[in-house]
């Protein structure tokens, strides 16, 4: 089982699509059933063998640091009240001391800039990037699937999935070359194309394994689509010189940065919970048109 030791979580975005909920509360802290979105991402990375969780945060995001800390008063109260299972769940969800590292993106200049802010912590080794909004429910953690693919190819690997034609303008889209075992050679990446210009319907989803050379390309601070420093632009520059693949991963992805995707995630995950599934199913039945 291959692993990627360092994973970067860029969480400095403004989350404007989920306003007003995200005016004060970071979108990564919104709950899906009873866990904040960020916790699903951290658990996925941990299950994939990651040992250093690097958060690129911004103003108003310190609540995430508290979430991954020991809450002394709460823990001792739960202990006194003998609420063992609640306490166990809380402590098991915590990364070990020193495993979480926070750095700041001082202004939201784009995803590429956020990843660049982690350059000194990542150093000179392949690393993962996880966009927390993309909650992926799978048998094998999606980050593990990417790490295994990276071990085979030695290059950059992006999670990809087929999207309806009319949605290509929401994603980076792959111009596909040869295909083998779920891996698609990336010949070109097109950021948010109109359906007519899209080279395929294979969209890049928020999981990546990248070679450290990406930082050299990001250092150019080239402004791209939307006036932001785009990760896609820097990735494009590595195509041709290093192996570059998209992986059609096994699993279901929910876009929790979008209201409908967020609602779907809550319903799908709650339906799977033994203590909630039947009750929720009966409630949903009363809403059927």
- Is the CB of 13 or the CB of 246 nearer to ligand UTP? 13
What the block records as the tokens of 65 is: 């640091």
Distance CA 279, CA 163 (A): 32
Asked if 18 contacts 113 with a C-beta cutoff of 8 angstroms, the reply is no
Asked if 108 contacts 58 with a C-beta cutoff of 8 angstroms, the reply is yes
- Is the CB of 61 or the CB of 150 nearer to ligand UTP? 61
Minimal distance, residue 262 CB to ligand UTP, in Å: 11
Using CA atoms, how far residue 110 sits from 21, 22, 132, 225, in Å, is: 21, 18, 15, 10
Minimal distance, residue 59 CB to ligand UTP, in Å: 12
Residues facing 253 on adjacent strands: 136
**Residue nearest ligand UTP, CB atom distance:** 13
- Is the CB of 173 or the CB of 270 nearer to ligand UTP? 173
Interface residues with ligand UTP (CB under 6 A) are 10-17, 56, 105, 108-111, 113-114, 131-133, 257
Minimal distance, residue 94 CB to ligand UTP, in Å: 22
SS3 assignment, position 68: coil
Distance CA 87, CA 78 (A): 6
- Is the CB of 168 or the CB of 270 nearer to ligand UTP? 168
Minimal distance, residue 263 CB to ligand UTP, in Å: 15
- Is the CB of 109 or the CB of 137 nearer to ligand UTP? 109
Minimal distance, residue 270 CB to ligand UTP, in Å: 23
What the block records as the tokens of 141 is: 């953690």
């Amino acid at each position: 089982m291959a692993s990627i030791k360092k994973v970067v979580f860029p969480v400095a975005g403004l989350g404007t699509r989920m306003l007003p909920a995200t005016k004060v509360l970071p979108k990564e802290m919104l709950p899906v059933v009873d866990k904040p979105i960020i916790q699903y991402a951290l658990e996925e990375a941990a299950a994939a063998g990651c040992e250093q969780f690097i958060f690129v945060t911004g103003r108003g995001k310190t609540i995430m640091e508290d979430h991954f800390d020991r809450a002394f008063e709460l823990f001792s109260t739960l202990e006194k009240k003998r609420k063992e299972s609640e306490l166990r769940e809380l402590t098991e969800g915590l990364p070990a001391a020193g495993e979480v590292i926070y750095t700041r993106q001082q202004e939201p200049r784009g995803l590429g800039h956020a990843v660049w802010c982690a350059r000194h912590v990542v150093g000179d080794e392949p690393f993962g990037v996880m966009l927390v909004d993309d909650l992926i429910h799978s048998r094998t953690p999606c980050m593990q699937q990417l790490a295994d693919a990276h071990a085979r190819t030695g290059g950059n690997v992006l999670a990809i999935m087929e999207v309806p034609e009319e949605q290509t303008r929401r994603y980076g889209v792959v111009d596909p070359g040869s295909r083998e075992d779920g891996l698609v050679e990336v010949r070109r990446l097109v950021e948010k194309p109109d359906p007519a210009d899209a080279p395929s319907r294979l969209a890049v989803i928020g999981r990546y394994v990248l070679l450290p050379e990406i930082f050299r390309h990001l250092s150019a601070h080239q402004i791209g689509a939307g006036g932001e420093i785009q990760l896609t632009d820097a990735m494009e520059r590595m195509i041709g010189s290093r192996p570059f693949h998209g992986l059609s991963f096994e699993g279901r992805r929910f876009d929790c940065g979008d209201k409908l995707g967020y609602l779907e995630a809550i319903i799908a995950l709650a339906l799977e919970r033994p203590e909630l599934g039947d009750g929720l199913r009966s409630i949903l039945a009363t809403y059927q048109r």
